[in-house]
Structure 1
Amino acid sequence: MQSIEELGRYSIIVGYAQYLNAKSVLDVGCGDGNLIRLLPLMESYVGIDMSRIALAKAQEVMDIRPNYCLIEADFDAYVPTNKFDLIVFGESLYYSKHPLQTLVSYQDALAKGGHCVISMYKNLKAPPVWDMVIEIFDIVDETHIQQKNQGWISRLLIPKQK
C-alpha cells in the first residue's frame, strides 16, 4: 500500500472477492499493483494499465505469483479473451473515452455468475458515469468510504437480465 488512505477502498474490493470466492480477476487500470498485494492468491489474475512505469512496479509482486499477467494497453481498446469471476474498475472507469461502450465490451468477459466491482472517487466526473453503469448493471451492494476530505463509492454489480 502506498498509504493508509487507500486501504479502505482496496479492502472493500478484496472483501467482495473473498465473499464471492472469486478464482479469476481482471483488474482494469491496475496501476502499480496495490490490489494484487492485498488479494488472496487467485487461480488467475490479469492486470491492464497504460502506464509502463506503473506496470513495472506491479511486476515486482507478479514475479512470485503463478498464472498472473500484466498487459500494457488502453483499456478502451483492449478486448479480453478469457472469462473472469470478477472484473474490477478501481478508480479507472471515469477515464474512459466511452464508459458505456467500454462496460458493454467488458461485460462479455464475465464468467457465468460473474460480478463487476466499480470504485470511483466522489468528484464531478463520477455521477454521469454511475448513470451509465446502472443502465447495464444491477447493484448488489454499495459501500461509501470516507477518508478525511476524500470519499469513494464502491459498488458490486451484476449484469442486468436481458
Structure 2
Amino acid sequence: MNNSKELYKQKSKQTFSNQASIYESTYNGKHAGKLYRSVIGKVNSFNCKKVLDVGCGTGTILSLLSKNNGINLSGVDLSEEMLSVAKQKLDDKIELKIGDSEQLPWKNNIFDAIICTDSFHHYPEPKKALREMARVLDTNGHMIIADPWIITPFRQVTNLLLKYSSSGDYKIYSKSEISKLLFESGFDDVEWTRINYNSFIVTAKFSK
C-alpha cells in the first residue's frame, strides 16, 4: 500500500483512539447508534449464527447482539483503546482482536455473516477489504454494511474535501458505487436501502 493510503488508516486509528472513552456521546458514536437497529434486523432476518463485526469499536452492537444467546460473536478493530472499552462491556465469550480489515486474523470460511457499521468509508482499499471479508465468510455467508450517505452533488464535494480531513474518512459511496464494489468482489444478491436521510444499509451474499 502506498503511503497516502496508509495515512488514512493512521488517521482513523488516532481519531477513534482519542474518542474511545467518550465515543457514544460523539457525533460518530451517535451516527453509528442510529444504524444498529437496521443491522441487527438484518442479522436476525438472515438467521445468522456466527457473526464478525469488522470495525467493532467500543462493542455496542456486539453487546446488543449478545442478548440473542444463539449467536457466536467476534469483533476486530484497529484501535486498542476502542477494544479496551469494548472488553469492559462484553462477556469474555465474545472474541475481540486487534486487526485490519485487509488482513483479518481468522482462517477461511469461519463466519456466516460479517457486519460493518459506520466503518467501511474509512477503508482506503475497499475492494481488498471486501475480498478479505469474503475469505473468512462461509459458503452463502452474508455481508451487511451500514454507512453514511450524502445526496449528489454534495457527496462528490465531500469526497474531494476528505483528503484534507484529519478524521481518516476515505470515501462516501453512492448506491451504484457500493453495489459495484460488492459485485466486483464476488458478492451477489446485493440489496441497498436508505436507513435515514444520511445513511444506507446494503446486504450481499458470497457464494463460493
Q: Is the 8 A contact 2:112 2:140 kept in 1?
A: yes
How far apart, in 2, do the equivalents of 1:156 and 1:129 lie? 10
Unaligned runs of 5+ in 1: none
- Paired residue for 2:201? 154
Q: Alignment partner of 1:145: what SS?
A: strand
Higher helix share: 2
Larger radius of gyration: 2
Amino acid at match of 2:205: I
How far apart, in 1, do the equivalents of 2:194 and 2:205 lie? 18
Q: 1:131 aligns with which of 156, 173, 180?
A: 180
1:104-130 deviations in Å (ceiling 9; x for gaps)? 122021122210101111144223454
RMSD: 2.4
- Answering whether residue 144 of structure 2 is matched by residue 117 of structure 1, we say yes
Between 34-43 and 84-93, the greater mean CA deviation after superposition: 34-43
- Paired residue for 2:82? 54
Q: Is the 8 A contact 1:41 1:65 kept in 2?
A: no
Amino acid at match of 1:113: N
The count of aligned residue pairs is 156
Unaligned runs of 5+ in 2: 1-22, 156-170
Residues 10 and 41 of structure 1, relative CA distance in 2, 3 Å threshold: same
How far apart, in 1, do the equivalents of 2:137 and 2:203 lie? 13
Q: 2:135 aligns with which of 103, 108, 111?
A: 108
**TM-score between the two structures when normalised by the length of structure 2:** 0.66
How far apart, in 2, do the equivalents of 1:65 and 1:129 lie? 34
**TM-score between the two structures when normalised by the length of structure 1:** 0.82
Higher strand share: 1
